[in-house]
Amino acid sequence: MTKPPSLTKPLTLGKPSAVSARVAKVFSIRPWTSEGQGKKIVMYGKSGIGKTTLAAMAPGAVFIGVDDGGRMIPNSKTGEPVNAIPDIVGFQDVRDVLHQKNLWPEGCTVVIDTVTKLDEQMEPYIYEHYKTAQGGTVASMRKYGWDGPAHQLECYRLLLSDLDALVRTGRSVILLAQLAQITLANAEGMDYLEDGPKLQHNKQYSVRLELCEWADHVFRIGYADFRVAADHDKARVGKVQATDAVRSVYTGGAQHFIAKSRPINGYRIPTVISFAEAGDDSLWSFVFGGARVET
């Protein structure tokens, strides 16, 4: 009877591969503060409400003009044109300019105007870098099926990592977005509409929620006094009955819109801040200037 091959000759083992020893990091404990870091801000509102006007008054504002509307709007405090970076075309250009560290003045505020427009311009980048499950290329987000929103979210996470690197150097970031409503499920009653940044959103992959969670502050620009009522009992849509058309910045959330603000130097800023005039930079006095409400 023939013996199995494994018993007729000794088993030869290969030499172990050289593995470099990992050196563990050395950690320490220190105060957890934002000292020396910039602010992370998302600000949204409907078209024409004044997002660019307000952002232009932020300290040392430098615009990445994905949407070119900012070229028409000077700094309302000084009357001077805002600084901007020309020739930005597409998502890769935005990432490249953020990586150009020597470009950004110390203490400046980087404004992307708008991430809603960037959402659209990101699509060619996705077509180039992401294949379908079958390994093919596409020319439409629909061709990815359920993977499309996941690819968008992955790209935004790359962008946020780039922005975080700037924030750690003391530069602040403002992401401007148009306003959009989504329907939120309500476990305690009827579903309802919620205002927020106009960005890709579904229950599984949401750029909208990712950016709002990333930000230190989410500001909504809207009108202070606004009342809607139905003309009759069967009306499905109400009409605006009264408004004084005074703009305000909402820094605290409510059930029907997204807004938040983290404490600044241990103090909470007001939940509603005036933006009545084009040159009213009261918001930045609180966020950057250390202003606070006297108690």
> 23-76: per-residue pLDDT in tens?
999 999 999 888 889 999 999 999 999 999 999 999 999 999 998 777 888 889
Would 187 be classed as within a structural domain? yes
> What per-residue confidence (pLDDT) applies to 7?
46
Which pLDDT score is estimated for 252?
93
| 293 in a structural domain | no
In a domain, 149, yes or no: yes
The parent domain of residue 228 ranges over 36-287
pTM of the model: 0.86
Residue 208 belongs to some domain of the structure: yes
Q: What is the CATH number of the domain that holds 281?
A: 3.40.50
User: How many domains is the chain partitioned into structurally?
Assistant: 1
Enumerate the β-bridge partners of residue 290.
Answer: none
Q: How far apart are CA 8 and CA 89, in angstroms?
A: 69
Instruction: Note whether residue 17 is domain-resident.
Output: no
Which residues neighbour 57 within 8 Å (Cβ) at sequence distance 6 or greater? Answer: 75, 76, 77, 279, 281, 284
DSSP 101-116: GGGSPTT-EEEEE-HH
Q: What is the pLDDT of residue 226?
A: 61
Tell me what pLDDT residue 184 has. Answer: 87
Q: What is the pLDDT of residues 236-275, one digit of tens each?
A: 666 655 556 789 999 997 889 999 999 988 889 999 999 9
Indicate whether 269 belongs to any domain: yes
**Could you read off the pLDDT of 127-161 as tens digits, one per residue?**
999 988 888 888 888 888 888 999 999 999 999 99
Residue 8 maps to a domain? no
The answer to whether residue 16 scores a pLDDT higher than 70 is no
The answer to whether 215 and 173 are in contact (CB under 8 A) is: no
Q: What are the pLDDT digits (tens) for 175-224?
A: 999 999 999 888 888 888 999 999 999 989 999 999 999 999 999 999 87
Burial environment of residue 197 by CB neighbours within 10 A (0 to 12, 13 to 18, 19 or more): buried
The dihedral formed by the CA atoms of 189, 191, 197 and 203, expressed in degrees to the nearest 10: 100
pLDDT at 11 over 80: no
pLDDT given for residue 145 in this prediction: 86
Residue with tokens 């563990």: 24
